[in-house]
Amino acid sequence: MNRSQAENQSLKFLSDRNVPVTVVLIGVADDVEGLIRDHQSTERCLLQVRMPRMSREEITEIITNGLKNVDMTVEASALRSMSSITKGLPHYAHLLGLHTGRAALDRGETCVMVEDLMTGIKTAIDKVQASVQRYYRQAISSSRKDAQFKSVLLACAMSQTDEFGYFAPVNVRAPLSKIREASCKIESFSRHLHAFSESDRGPVLKREAHGASRPRFRFHNPLIQPYVLLRGIAEQIIKEEDLREAMCEQTEDDMLF
């Protein structure tokens, strides 16, 4: 019996005998099915608990509480920008809270202002995992000077999504038009989206067929999306207010996807 079979038998044993213990399965997968692909027979023994991304309220609480612990505060506009950039991921909330707070202290202040945000972002970019930085470079690399992979990927990061993080090409059109300062048609960037879902560029996006001609996409690694936004702001391709405007169009439950 191999290790996978042994784990499967152990879970079934505990379930069949109603043993009062909690077993947590830990792994990396896009969904529950992917996580237990080799343990399909154990699915009936498991209680699936969905872990959505954090709401804006939860993200702001992480930032404000962290600053409060060192007797610091943050102005509302800066806090709003940081909560938009994080896309509901606590890792980036801690990262931005730390480095914007240090930027404020370097100015001799204890209140984080909007002017500290750019300094904090530039520092945070270098602290992001090396693998995320590598995936980003691979996704946007091109020998052509007129290549638009960087701007299209940024528009993807700004796009409105459904509750599972998927967006359609039509959702990319408005933010890309904002970036290019010109009206964009889907035909002008659809090939970029499909290229992002191929191995040559990561893939940085995961493509899901939704009907014959209605593909949907989402970021393959969720950590890449906020990093793309950080780069866009640091390189002054977009401004914080552009991101806040895009977030205002999100769903009413205020989830950050």
The pLDDT confidence band at residue 252, using thresholds 50, 70 and 90, is: very low
Residues 101, 96: Cα–Cα separation, whole Å: 8
Q: What is the mean pLDDT of residues 184-209?
A: 94
Fold held by 130-247: Arc Repressor Mutant, subunit A (1.10.10)
Q: What is the mean pLDDT of residues 117-123?
A: 95
Instruction: Give the residue range(s) of CATH 1.10.8.60 domains in the chain.
Output: 56-127
The pLDDT confidence band at residue 66, using thresholds 50, 70 and 90, is: very high
The pLDDT confidence band at residue 64, using thresholds 50, 70 and 90, is: very high
Q: Is the torsion defined by CA of 102, 106, 111, 112 positive or negative?
A: negative
The pLDDT confidence band at residue 236, using thresholds 50, 70 and 90, is: very high
What CATH number does the domain located at 56-127 have? 1.10.8.60
Residues 171, 188: Cα–Cα separation, whole Å: 14
129, pLDDT greater than 50: yes
Cα 82–chain centre separation: 13
Residue % of the chain over a pLDDT of 90 = 63
The pLDDT confidence band at residue 127, using thresholds 50, 70 and 90, is: very high
137, pLDDT greater than 50: yes
Give me the phi and psi of 33, to 5 degrees please.
-60, -40
254, pLDDT greater than 50: no
- C-beta separation of 132 from 221 below 8 A: yes
The pLDDT confidence band at residue 257, using thresholds 50, 70 and 90, is: very low
- C-beta separation of 160 from 171 below 8 A: yes
Q: What is the pLDDT of residue 67?
A: 97
Instruction: Give the residue range(s) of CATH 1.10.10.10 domains in the chain.
Output: 130-247
